[in-house]
Amino acid sequence: MMKYVPKVIDEEDNYSKESHWWGGIRVFLRVILVVLAVYMFLGIIVDFAVPYIPLSWENALSAPIMSEVNQMGTVSRRYEIAKIQNLLDSLAKLMPKEQQRSFKVVVVDKKETNALALPGGNIVLFSELLNEVQSENELAMILAHELGHFAHRDHLRGLGRSFLFYMFSALLLGGDNATARTFMNSSGILTNTYSRSQEAGADRFALDLIIKKYGHAGGTLDFFRRLAGKETLPELTHYLSTHPASKKRVAALQEIIDEKELAVGEPLPVFWLKGEKSP
C-alpha cells in the first residue's frame, strides 16, 4: 500500500514573474483611479460649496496669500494708487448690492501685463500693465473685469482644491500655521488661470459696469486690441489655452456693443496715473 506524502509547493512555482508584474500594474492602476476619483469629488464639493463660503473664511486666506504677493516685488510708489483705489471704489458701488464688499488695490513691480483677483477683496495690478494703460476707461475696464471674477466668485473656484485643503488645514492646525503657509506658497495660487467661460463672464460683467459709470463703451476695448496686436502665437495654441485670444475677446465684446447699440464716446485721459499734471 502506497503512503501519500503531501508535496510542499513553493509559491514561486505557482506565480510567474510575469504574474507578479501584472499584479503590480493592477494595484498601481487602482491607486490612480482612487486618486482621480477623490480629486474629482473634491472639485464637485468646491463647486457646490463656493456660493456658501462666508467672507470670514475667505479673508482667512488673505494674509498668507498677500504675504507671497509682497515677495514678488517692492510695492510700487510710482503710481497714484489712491486715485486707482478711488476708481475701483466708484465701480464697486455700481455692483449689485449683494455683491458689494470692500476691495483693495495693490500694485507690485513686475514686468508682466496682468492683474489678479485674490481672496480678501484684493486686486493686484502688475506695474507693466499700468505702463500699458492709455486711458482711464481702459483701466476701469481692467478693474471691472476683476470685480466680475469676485461677483461670480471665480477667485475661489480658481483656488479649487487648494482652498479646500487650506480650510481643512486651518480648522485642524489654525489659520496662520507654517504648514498652511508652506502649502499656499507652493500651490501656484498666483498663476491660477480661469476658464474661457469665466473670462467671458467677467468681460460681460465689466462692460455693464463701464456703461453704468461712463454711459458709453468708449475705450473699453482699446487695451485688448493692443494686446491682440502683440500676440504672435499661432491661432491653434489659443484653443489649448484657458484664456481666450485677445482678438476673440475683442470680437465678443464688440458683438455685445453692436447688438445693444451701446454708445461709444471719447475715453478720459489717464495722465494722473503716474502723478503727471494735466496737459
Contacts of 113 (CB under 8 A, 6+ apart): 126, 128, 129, 132, 227
In this structure, what DSSP letter does residue 271 have?
G
Q: Which residue has 499656499 as its cell numbers?
A: 184
Bridge partners for 254 per DSSP: none
Report pTM: 0.76
Bridge partners for 75 per DSSP: 108
Q: For residue 246, what pLDDT is reported? A: 82
CB-based burial label for 43 (10 Å; 0-12, 13-18, 19+): middle
Separation between Cα atoms, residue 66 and residue 105, nearest integer Å: 12
Q: For residue 233, what pLDDT is reported? A: 54
CB-based burial label for 248 (10 Å; 0-12, 13-18, 19+): middle
User: How does DSSP assign 11-33, residue by residue?
Assistant: HHHHS-HHHHHHHHHHHHHHHHH
- Number of other CB atoms surrounding residue 156 within 10 Å: 23
Q: For residue 236, what pLDDT is reported? A: 40
Per-residue pLDDT of the chain (279 residues; tens, 9 = 90+): 555 555 555 555 555 555 667 777 888 788 888 767 766 676 677 677 777 778 887 887 787 778 778 877 766 677 889 999 999 999 999 999 999 999 999 999 888 888 999 989 999 999 999 999 999 999 999 999 999 999 998 888 766 666 666 555 555 555 554 555 555 554 455 555 677 888 999 999 999 999 999 999 999 999 999 988 887 654 443 333 445 578 888 999 999 999 999 999 999 999 888 776 665
Q: For residue 239, what pLDDT is reported? A: 35
- Number of other CB atoms surrounding residue 171 within 10 Å: 10
